[in-house]
Structure 1
Amino acid sequence: MVEDLGFAPDGEGEHVLVRILKNGCNTRFVADALAKFLKIHAREVSFAGQKDKHAVTEQWLCARVPGKEMPDLSKFQLEGCQVLEYARHKRKLRLGALKGNQFTVILREISDRQDVETRLQAIAERECRTISARSASALAAVTCRAPCAGGERRASARSQ
């Protein structure tokens, strides 16, 4: 899953936006580790949404570090995490403040391929509203690709 903020960091301000690739770590765990690394309180680290521990995700976190030099986040080390980029920003990243997510769903051990195709089509037609009623954004598209090795199917989607 890749998080799309819909804007770029503005390069100045008391906050630092950090884009992290993570696997095997939930959002709160990474936010707490980032706070510890920066020597700030955990409440000073925010994010737009929580990501699953069991998914490979790219996520933006935001740390409030006023009056401090730009931290060298290339030295942040946490198993299952990698800092991809970071920059200053004027505003705090708030829950829900993202344009959407891009993600790929992998279906394994499929016994009835036609049933899966029918269900994926129904999801695309209803724009996923029944799956995520709390989501402010709707699924824009679901595209099935050719079968993968081991009888898997991949469905790529983008919520907006």
Structure 2
Amino acid sequence: MESDAAAAREALDAVNTTRELNAERLRRPSRYWIMIGLMLSVFALLPYAAGWPPLLQILVPPVLIALIAVALGRKQPTAVRRLRLSGRMGLQLLGFAILAGVVVAVSRAVHLEQGWWWAPLVAAVLLFAFVATVGPRMDRSWARRASRNEE
């Protein structure tokens, strides 16, 4: 009976090890979250471009975002592509986007109404720090869920 328990324990340990390896393979490299944080920071810094000519105001943000994507958006691991967006993941991303929108809107409003020149800069730093710290945690959670085949 003890040998059956030991064999069962070894099998469970092997399954848990496989789950952990699968979850690790499903995680994106941290550079992806840094890339998203930098892209959101570009939007937070847009109030500083208010005095620029209209053509530059229109062209500079997409060019900066494209440069960030080229610099940090190297080939994504193939296992990550199999990660499908579930309902809970979508809600987390929606909350992420709403928070970013609120922070950018408040900083822009404070910059325009109160003249606080530092508000967009603080918002950009806060967004980058939030995305760079919370993004990988969400990714680990998603990878664990996918490796367990949960929805």
Q: Is the shorter-chain TM-score for this pair beyond 0.5, marking a shared fold? A: no
- Structure (1/2) with the larger helix percentage: 2
TM bucket by the smaller chain? under 0.3
What's the TM-score once normalised by structure 2's chain length?
0.22
- Compare relative contact order (CA 8 Å, sep 6+) and give the higher one, 1 or 2: 2
Which structure features the higher share of strand residues?
A: 1
TM-score, structure 1 normalization: 0.21
Which has the larger Rg?
2
